[in-house]
Structure formats: structure tokens, C-alpha cells
Structure 1
Amino acid sequence: MRLRALLAAAVLTVSTAPAAWAVAHGSDVPPGQYGFVAKLAMTKIPRPDGSTYSSYCTGALVAPAWVLTTGHCFHDAHRDRVSGKVPYPTTVTLGMTDEETESGIARKATEVLQAKENDVALIRLDSPVTAVTPLAVSRAVPKVGQQLTLAGWGSLTSANPKPATRLQQGTVAIAKVDPTTLGVRGAAPEITTSACTYDSGAPYFSGDELVSLEATGPDCPHAGVETTSRTDVIADWITTHTA
């Protein structure tokens, strides 16, 4: 009964929290930090019936002209991943924590390259970003128990999701290591700290090294194990294209 009461309190917290938050049960990122976290805004995404819609993803700057994100953020009308010219207008904004008070650094995505090993893509920017230090890509094999920081522009909750206007962060712990993915679980501020809708591609990092990317942008908040895409297994591929 006590567990049910705690869960009910968590739900109540979500329903009354400010809508501008992101990363469910996370905390505000202080101004000037994590400028490498990218907010991706896509428009005119095609549907099979010929209509279009808009959506969002998150990513990480890994080289001055390249952002790493989830591969399925770029797809055709049948939701098959695509490579080559970016399939719909995509604006990438970096270097900000609050889009209501900061303009950030905006670029257009021009090209997308899909990784073969996992659901990850590199996107080329129309011009380099020199005012933000990119994240290095870790080549070390992740370990169970290792703690990572998650930062993203996703929604606070998957109920009536809205893209965030304020960058959020949280701490997770690695619960499972698979050949191309990691399972992570919320650690702080809450055990229900988790990625959410529009967090697809959000970076999980340790210090200044990128360890994995959010794979799905799931229903949230949740206390279960979340699947993320390892970046150490594609580090050579990333270097080949971004060097």
C-alpha cells in the first residue's frame, strides 16, 4: 500500500508541474551548461495519405558540423529510416537552456547518415558551430552500475506531450549492457527520472564523453529499464564521417 501511495504522489506531481519542464522528474540545467545538447524541430514530415505533421527530437553535437541523434527521427512516409538528403526541413538549435529567454545557435540539417549497428544517425549542419564544445564519443565499454547524466528537450509527461522550452537533466544508472544497447534506470532526482516523448536522441554522458543516446522517447515518467543506443560500438564510424 505504501508503494501505491508513493506512485500516486508521483503522478500528482506530474499533473501539477510546470509544462515547460522536460526529462520526467528531472531538474533544470543551469544557464551556460550542456550547450552541446541539440533541439531538433522537423516540419512537413510525410504520412502515407499525403498529409504532413511536425515533430521534435533531441541530439548531441559531436563535431562542429555534426549532430548525433536517433536514426528513426529521419524516415520516409512509411517510417523507414532514410539516408542522404534530409527528408524534411529540420532546424537544429544548440547553446541554450531556456528558449524563452535565449536565442541559441540555429542551423539547418542538410544530410543524414544512418548507422548500421543501431538506431543512430549523424546529421550534417549547413555550417559549423564554433561557439560550443562538442561531446567526445566514449570508446570504453560501459559497465553495469555506472551513472550517466541525461539531458533533453523532451516532454514532462507522455500524457498530452509538448516539446520543452527549458532543458532538463537527470541521473540514471546502467542496469544492463547488451551488444549495441544499454538498459538504464532512473537514479536522481527520483527513481522515476526518465526520458520522455521528444527525447529520442537525447545524450547520456559521463563528464565530457557521450556513452549512449535515447532510443525511443518513451511513455513517462517510469521506473523501469529504458533502452538506449551505445555509441562506443559506432565510435569509428562517427570519426570516419566527422573528422
Structure 2
Amino acid sequence: MVGVKAFSAQRASFRFGAMVVAVIAGAGGAATYVGVQRAAPEAAAAVVTRGAAAGGSAPPPSVKASSESLPVSDTPFSAKLSSTDIPEEGGGVRTGGCSGALVATDWIVTAGHCFHDVHGKRSSGRPDYHMKVAIGKQTDSDPHGHVVEVVDTRQSPYSDLALARLSSPITDIQPLQLPDGPPKTGQRATFVGWGSLSSKVIVQSDHLKRGDFSVHSVRQYELDLEPVHERTVENSPCPDDSGSPYFVPGDDGGHVLVAVENFGPDCPNPGLETAARVDSIRSWIHQQLGS
């Protein structure tokens, strides 16, 4: 069963529990879903909903990828966002998820379309649904880390990026630093995210994924990245990886945020990954964090 509301030129796919939602969103409107595949700035919001058969086949076994990136234990700033009560325009609720990263003691960065109103338009302020955030964990069963909620959101006016304020500050984890300058073509960056391990049975991973990428091209507010190693579902963005950070080592032993994954694409994705640049909106981010 397929219900189509509107559709823009770009495609996006989302996950809501047993329901899969494809959404196309723009800088001001992103899916009715928290795990969008594509949310292109300046594009109109659109939604396609498909009912998924309950009790479908389990995701295929994950493929472990060789990688030169840091072990996940060195990336406690990663954030797993999940909700179980996202309201639907026609009534009822659904579930959805995104990824993100800690950028201040009480703020995370993620994709803008992860927060929206009942009509699918990106929204700021307190979300219309509960969004749980797990930080400092490497697996769902990890006894360490923190679980908090989002109490406020700020949408970037330039790209599909948002800041989300946490209900409690995280004081024992070093946040990602903001970059001082623009990324360069060929620069290596590490990706981490909590997205699905399948494009067909879409469920957030129970462990943190990671992979290595290099900057392919740079635009004013976005950049494209290509994989360093052969793509697998374990080392590249998949559905629910929207908002995942790309970062590089910092001078003081920390890490610097370069960009934020725009989409949660079908995976392994044969094309380039598109991400929102952080350096080009650094001043805007500082303004929000200081307010």
C-alpha cells in the first residue's frame, strides 16, 4: 500500500518502526520522518509512505570492514537519536531515528530534517515528540554513557543541519571541536553512525558503525565525500544515519567536526555522500550555543 502526498525531484527514505517512509525535504522542510535519506536545501518537502509487512525477514548479517579509522571506543561523542511517538498527519504515531554528535556539554548536532512538525516541515523549539539521545555508548547494551532527551532545537538557515539541546549536560565526554577553516579536497575524515545495517529491513544498528572517507568536492554549504575502502553496511551511511558526523583529528588529542551527513541512503551507496559543512556556519553555531 502506497500513499503519496507530494514529491520533489530528490528522493529520501525513512524508517518508522514497521513503516518505511520516503521523504524529500528542503532546507525548510524535511520529511515527516526522522531518518531521511535525502533532504536537499531549498527543495520542497514531500512524502511517500509504504507499509512494511510485520515480522519481515531479519537484516542480513553485517559485513565487517577493514578500516583505518579510530576504534569506536575513541568516539564517545557519538549520539544515537530515537523516538517512538512521532505524530503522523493522518493520525497515529510512528518511530524513527537519526545519528549525531556532541558539540557542547548540552548540545548535539544532527540533520535538520530529524526534527519537524506533523506536516513534515523542519521545526525549531521543543520537538512535538520525545527524542531520546544515547551518548557515550558503543552498543545498546553498553552500561556506560548517558541517555537524555532533546528539549530544544535550532534549525540552520543554510543547510540541512540542526542543533539540539539536551535535558542534562554531559560533563564527562569531550565534545567535538568546531573547525577553524574549510575542508580541502582529498582530506580524510572518519564517519560514525547508528544507522541500519540493511536498506530493506530498516532498524537502527545495536552498535556504532564507522568508516573512512575523503573529501571529493566542496560547495558553499555542503561537501561530497567518497569512501576510502570498499563500502559495506558497517562502514558507510545507511538509513537512520542522517546527522552522522564526519571528523578529523585535532591538535590537542581531540577531534574536529568537518561535516554532518545529510542523508540516510540505501546502502551500500554507489554514489558520493553529501554532508552539511560545519565551518561555513561556524558563527551561527556559536551564536546558538551561547544563547
Which interval holds the TM-score relative to the shorter structure?
0.7 to 0.9
User: Which residue in the other structure is 1:6 paired with?
Assistant: none
Q: 1:17 aligns with which of 61, 64, 69?
A: 61
Aligned twin of 2:155: 114
> Does structure 2 retain, via aligned residues, the 8 Å contact 1:185–1:223?
no
Shift of the alpha carbon at 1:139? 2.8
Specify the alignment match of 1:4 in structure 2: none
Within a 5 Å distance, the mapping from 1:46-85 to structure 2 comes to 46-85=87-126
Q: Are residues 1:225 and 2:267 paired? A: no
Secondary structure of residue in 1 paired with 2:74: coil
| Kept in 2: contact 1:40–1:93 (CA 8 A) | yes
- Asked if 1:200 corresponds to 2:247, the answer is no
Give, as a single letter, the amino acid of the residue that structure 2 aligns with 1:202: S
Aligned to 1:239: 286
- Which stretches in structure 2 are left out of the alignment for 5+ residues? 1-58, 250-254
- Cα distance in 1 for partners of 2:141, 2:66 equals 19
Q: Do structure 1's residue 145 and structure 2's residue 186 form an aligned pair? A: yes
Q: Does 1:42 align with 2:83?
A: yes
Deviation of 1:102 after TM superposition, in Å, equals 2.9
Q: What is the TM-score normalised by the length of structure 1?
A: 0.86
1:143-168 Cα offsets, whole Å, 9 max, x none, are: 11111100000012212111011101
Counterpart CA distance in 1 for 2:225 and 2:284 is 24
| TM-score (ref. length: structure 2) | 0.73
1:74-113 mapped onto 2 (5 Å cutoff): 74-113=115-154
User: How far off its partner does 1:103 sit?
Assistant: 4.6
d(CA) in 2 for partners of 1:185 and 1:166? 23
Larger relative contact order (Cα-Cα within 8 Å, sequence gap ≥ 6): 1
- Count of aligned pairs between the two proteins: 224
Q: Is the Cα contact below 8 Å between 1:83 and 1:112 reproduced in 2?
A: yes
Q: Aligned to 2:82, what secondary structure does the other structure show?
A: strand
Residue identity in the other structure for 2:287? T
Q: Please say if residues 25 and 194 of structure 1, whose CA atoms lie closer than 8 Å, have aligned partners that are also in contact.
A: no
Runs of at least 5 residues in structure 1 that lack an aligned partner in the other structure: 1-14
- For residues 277 and 207 of structure 2, the distance between their equivalents in structure 1, rounded to whole angstroms, comes to 26
Contact 2:116 2:127 in 1 (8 A): no
2:245 touches 2:259 (CA, 8 Å); kept in 1? yes
Aligned match of 1:130 = 171
Q: Is the 8 A contact 1:185 1:194 kept in 2?
A: no
Distance 1:32 1:143 in 2: 27
Distance 2:127 2:89 in 1: 18
